[in-house]
């Protein structure tokens, strides 16, 4: 049996299987019912591994072991396999989420927090910086800074960036505002974005900015994240930002932001 390498690669990625598993599963699908030895020869998988791999596929719901001797395996219809894999992944994800949630307030998390706080005190402030690659990572870090904010958050962004941030960071913005954090956003506004602005009343003050084209976020006059590429010209996967914890530089940016802010409406 000849199966294209690109098909095997897709099966591994979509169904979270290893190479031997996809080879034996594809071989069994082509036969319907077969023995481990036959499948081993067809799929070019060592016989010493075929039984373990087929047992793994059985546990994952891809195959059924037929009663009788010699032992044979029956292929489950692919549509049913998709449903089973989805269900299994969902249960696994929910279990992992429950375990992570259970760490909140636990001695384990307290110990980790102690390790981190002790470690940070030993770090030179100039070392607290990093490159954030990919828009997903950028927004994750901005979200983290918003959760830690105590006094102020200043954001300069593009119109599309503004819409993305409201969609992805709204919950953290609302929580920060409830803690008394002053949030100001300078962004180009259109009819579409003005509708979103109305929904932010009581959360953030937004002003139309067509004077300065930039993308950065400052938090509490200490942390700054600034994006180094134009979001109109870069794919989200390649968007890049720099995070620096530096009161000196951040306070300078806040000073420039304040001057610009007073000129905006």
The domain that holds 66 is classified in CATH as 1.10.10.10
Integer CA distances (angstroms), 95 to 30, 49, 70, 109, in order: 34, 30, 38, 18
15 domain-assigned: yes
Asked if 136 and 253 sit in the same domain, the reply is yes
52 and 148 share a domain?
A: no
Q: Which domain holds residue 27?
A: 5-95
Half-sphere exposure (Cβ direction) of 99: Cα atoms closer than 13 Å: 6
Cα–Cα dist 135/239, whole Å? 5
Q: DSSP class of residue 125?
A: G
**Which is more confidently placed, 117 or 82?**
82
Same domain, 140 and 81: no
Q: Given this model, what pLDDT does residue 187 score?
A: 94
User: Is 143 contained in some domain?
Assistant: yes
Using one digit for the tens of pLDDT, what is the confidence trace for 138-175?
Answer: 999 999 999 999 999 999 999 999 999 999 999 999 99
Q: Could you give the count of Cα atoms lying within 13 Å of 35 in the half-sphere of its Cβ? A: 8
Residues 162 and 44 in one domain: no
| DSSP strands (E only) in the chain | 33-35, 63-66, 72-75, 129-133, 152-156, 182-187, 205-208, 216-219, 223-227, 240-245
Same-domain check for residues 52 and 155: no
pLDDT recorded at residue 163:
92
Mean pLDDT across 193-204: 89
Residue with the bigger pLDDT between 104 and 178: it is 178
Least confident of 78-87, 149-158, 201-210, 252-261: 78-87
Whether 138 and 254 share a structural domain:
yes
With respect to residue 100, please indicate whether it lies within any of the assigned structural domains.
Answer: no
d(CA 77, CA 35): 18
For the chain, the average pLDDT equals 87
Q: Total structural domains in the chain? A: 2
Residue with tokens 């806040």: 254
Q: Is residue 120 part of a domain?
A: no
Asked whether residue 251 is assigned to any structural domain, the reply reads yes
End position of a domain, from candidates 95, 115, 148: 95
Q: In what order do the strands lie in the sheet with 72-75?
A: 33-35, 72-75, 63-66
What percent of the chain has pLDDT above 90?
A: 44
CA nearest to 241, candidates 182, 155, 177: 155
Domain end (from 51, 80, 95)? 95
Q: How many alpha carbons fall within 13 Å on the CB side of residue 29?
A: 17
Q: Please check whether residues 68 and 151 belong to one and the same domain.
A: no
The answer to whether residues 256 and 143 belong to one domain is: yes
Question: What CATH number did the domain enclosing 253 receive?
Answer: 3.30.870.10
90 falls within a domain: yes
pLDDT attached to residue 13: 87
**Residue 105 is assigned to a structural domain of this protein:** no
Q: Does a structural domain hold residue 75?
A: yes
Are 64 and 157 in the same domain? no
DSSP string of 57-93?
HHHTTSEEEESSSS-EEEEPPHHHHHHHHHHHHHHHH
- Look at residue 85 and tell me whether its pLDDT is greater than 90: no
Per-residue confidence at 178, pLDDT binned at 50, 70, 90? very high
Q: How confident is the model at residue 66 (pLDDT cuts 50, 70, 90)?
A: confident
Q: What confidence score (pLDDT) does residue 225 get?
A: 94
Q: Look at the pTM and tell me if it is higher than 0.75.
A: no
């Amino acid at each position: 049996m000849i199966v294209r390498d690109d098909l095997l690669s897709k099966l591994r990625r979509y169904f979270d299987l290893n190479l031997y598993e996809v080879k034996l599963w594809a071989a069994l699908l082509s036969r319907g019912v077969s023995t481990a030895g036959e499948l081993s020869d067809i799929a070019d998988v060592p016989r010493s591994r075929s039984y373990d791999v087929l047992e793994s596929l059985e546990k994952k719901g891809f195959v059924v072991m037929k009663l009788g001797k010699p032992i044979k395996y029956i292929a489950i219809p692919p549509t049913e396999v998709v449903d089973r894999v989805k269900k299994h992944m969902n249960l696994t994800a929910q279990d992992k989420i429950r375990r992570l949630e259970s760490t909140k307030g636990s001695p384990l998390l307290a110990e980790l927090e102690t390790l981190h706080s002790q470690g940070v005190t030993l770090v030179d402030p100039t070392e607290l910086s990093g490159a954030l690659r990919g828009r997903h990572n950028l927004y994750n870090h901005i979200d983290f800074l918003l959760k830690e904010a105590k006094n102020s958050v200043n954001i300069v962004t593009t119109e599309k960036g503004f819409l993305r941030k409201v969609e992805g960071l709204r919950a953290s913005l609302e929580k920060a505002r409830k803690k008394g954090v002053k949030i100001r956003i300078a962004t180009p506004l259109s009819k579409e974005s003005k509708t979103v602005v109305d929904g932010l009343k009581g959360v953030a003050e937004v002003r139309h900015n067509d004077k300065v084209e930039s993308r950065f976020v400052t938090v509490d006059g200490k942390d700054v994240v600034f994006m180094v590429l134009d979001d109109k010209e870069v794919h989200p996967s390649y968007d890049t930002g720099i995070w620096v914890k530096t009161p000196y530089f951040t306070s300078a940016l806040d000073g420039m932001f304040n001057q610009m802010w007073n000129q905006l409406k």
